[in-house]
């Protein structure tokens, strides 16, 4: 504890300075929540969240002239933001919120004690405080013990906590994924009994917690908690639906377990990307097979098929992500990966022509590297020989892509003639015919490689003449 306090104050000397400023004015000030937790875990502390007995107007007067900048983060909730040097700080007045059962938005009431403020925190490990400037630790609810044990427990009863703010149930799963903790039995039981209350929370807030969960160091553990408690039925119902589906390729596990394994293997391959964790490739790995329940068919010989589950799954993915208010860009990226995740299996043992390889790259576009990761991660067979064969085959495909790219700048495939040249050669104006001609030239380019403008013009005239 002493070492953690010393490290925080050494890395952020403004805290002691600010604490002295408030103490001189007769107000309490404490670092609280995540920064204290992370300091005790030996993690880097960046966000500085403080709580105080001072009211917002008093806070504003105290920091005026000391802070480099001050802004309203949410004055109505008692919060002001400020910047001092390289540090950004949020200061919130002690609160004792009351909640309407039909909404997660609190009716804000200011409190008088640090203990009362800590009691409204989501979990005991986040209800720790460091008084400033004395650097005295405050632990009213056993958070230090829970932190040492890796346990998530609520300061008040979990039923009260989750009734006040149902989003805390999502946070429990998120902290399991981020910190590697386990929710205690009472917390898990309350999440199971109250899962339906998550529906009063806005889609945007659920989405944000889901993204943090999926990008955690152990996302599968967090997802299992969502599914086991029934929360997933309300936020991502396509995931628990996979438990009902037998996978025709991997009979030793259902599609749910297969999908979690693919996610784990995608995480292991993220080193291929410049930025990580990468939500897009992780989420695509998680949902790549969600089309299987809808496309499952039982044949007379006892086998099970899932024809076109890639196309159906892509449509389902886009619909779910739209409901969760993801950006159009992310929806398009994940949807494309799900739609293409089976494409490689048509490659066989390397019989694809150069034209087929070009089409693979063209269709993947700027998602090619993520598609490489997803496709490799999708191999979960226990048959070592089969796994090695698939690995070698995909290695071969990537080598061919690199060779063609070096020859043809494959990542920017364009026809040999542009739209203006097409119009001039055919004597036509802008319109549908230009698009058709462009697609003809693009297919020609994919099938035969670069032709040059002269040969492309000759082929275009022949195509136009035959078409006429």
Q: pLDDT for 131-184, tens place per residue?
A: 999 999 999 999 999 999 999 999 999 999 999 999 999 999 999 999 999 999
Res 252: pLDDT: 41
Six token digits for residue 206 = 């659920």
pLDDT, mean over the chain = 90
pLDDT band at 202 (very low <50, low <70, confident <90, very high): very high
Domain shared by 23 and 142, yes or no: yes
Residues linked to residue 305 through DSSP beta bridges, in sequence order = 297
Residue 398 covered by a domain: yes
Six token digits for residue 235 = 């936020």
Six token digits for residue 196 = 């339906």
Secondary element (H or E) of residue 183: strand 182-183
Domain shared by 255 and 384, yes or no: yes
3-state secondary structure of 98: strand
Of 66-70, 332-336, 347-351, the least confident: 347-351
Residue 154 covered by a domain: no
Q: Over range 102-106, report the average pLDDT.
A: 61
CB 77 within 8 A of CB 92: yes
pLDDT band at 101 (very low <50, low <70, confident <90, very high): low
Domain shared by 44 and 80, yes or no: yes
Domain shared by 95 and 144, yes or no: yes
CB 136 within 8 A of CB 106: no
- The whole model's pTM is what? 0.82
Of 209-223, 358-372, 379-393, the least confident: 379-393
Domain shared by 283 and 194, yes or no: yes
- Give the count of beta carbons closer than 10 Å to the beta carbon of residue 45: 19
Domain shared by 196 and 332, yes or no: yes
Res 250: pLDDT: 46
* CATH code, domain carrying 304: 1.10.3090.10
Domain shared by 125 and 269, yes or no: no
Residue 155 covered by a domain: no
Domain limits for position 460:
415-467
């Amino acid at each position: 504890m002493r070492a953690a306090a010393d490290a925080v104050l050494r890395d952020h000397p403004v805290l002691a300075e600010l604490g002295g400023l408030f103490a001189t004015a007769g107000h309490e000030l404490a670092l609280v929540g995540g920064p204290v937790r992370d300091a005790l875990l030996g993690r880097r502390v960046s966000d500085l969240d403080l709580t105080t007995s001072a009211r917002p107007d008093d806070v504003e007067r105290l920091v005026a002239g000391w802070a480099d900048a001050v802004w309203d983060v949410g004055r109505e909730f008692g919060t002001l933001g400020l910047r001092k040097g390289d540090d950004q700080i949020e200061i919130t007045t002690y609160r004792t919120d009351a909640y309407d059962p039909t909404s997660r938005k609190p009716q804000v009431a200011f409190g008088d004690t640090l203990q009362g403020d800590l009691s409204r925190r989501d979990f005991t490990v986040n209800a720790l405080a460091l008084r400033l400037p004395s650097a005295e630790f405050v632990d009213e609810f056993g958070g230090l013990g829970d932190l040492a044990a890796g346990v998530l427990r609520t300061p008040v009863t979990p039923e009260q906590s989750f009734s006040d703010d149902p989003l805390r149930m999502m946070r429990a799963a998120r902290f399991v994924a981020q910190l590697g903790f386990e929710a205690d039995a009472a917390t898990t039981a309350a999440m199971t009994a109250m899962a339906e209350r998550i529906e009063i929370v806005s889609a945007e807030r659920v989405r944000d917690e889901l993204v943090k969960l999926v990008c955690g160091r152990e996302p599968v553990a967090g997802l299992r908690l969502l599914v086991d408690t029934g929360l997933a039925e309300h936020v991502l119902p396509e995931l628990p639906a996979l438990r009902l589906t037998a996978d025709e390729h991997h009979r030793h596990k259902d599609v749910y377990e297969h999908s979690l394994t693919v996610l784990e293997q995608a995480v292991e391959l993220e080193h291929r990307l410049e930025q990580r964790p990468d939500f897009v490739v992780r989420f695509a790995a998680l949902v790549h097979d969600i089309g299987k329940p809808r496309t499952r068919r039982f044949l007379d010989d006892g086998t099970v098929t899932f024809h076109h589950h890639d196309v159906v799954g892509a449509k389902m993915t886009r619909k779910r992500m739209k409901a969760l208010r993801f950006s159009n860009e992310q929806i398009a990226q994940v949807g494309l990966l799900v739609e293409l995740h089976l494409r490689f299996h048509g490659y066989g043992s390397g019989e694809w022509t150069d034209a087929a390889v070009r089409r693979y790259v063209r269709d993947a576009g700027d998602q090619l590297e993520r598609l490489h990761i997803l496709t490799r991660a999708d191999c979960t067979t226990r048959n070592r020989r089969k796994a090695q064969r698939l690995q070698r085959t995909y290695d071969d495909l990537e080598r061919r892509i690199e060779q063609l790219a070096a020859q043809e700048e494959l990542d920017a495939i364009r026809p040999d003639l542009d739209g203006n040249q097409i119009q001039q050669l055919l004597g036509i104006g802008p319109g549908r015919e230009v698009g058709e001609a462009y697609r003809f030239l693009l297919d020609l380019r994919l099938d035969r490689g670069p032709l040059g403008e002269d040969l492309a013009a000759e082929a275009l005239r022949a195509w136009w003449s035959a078409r006429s």
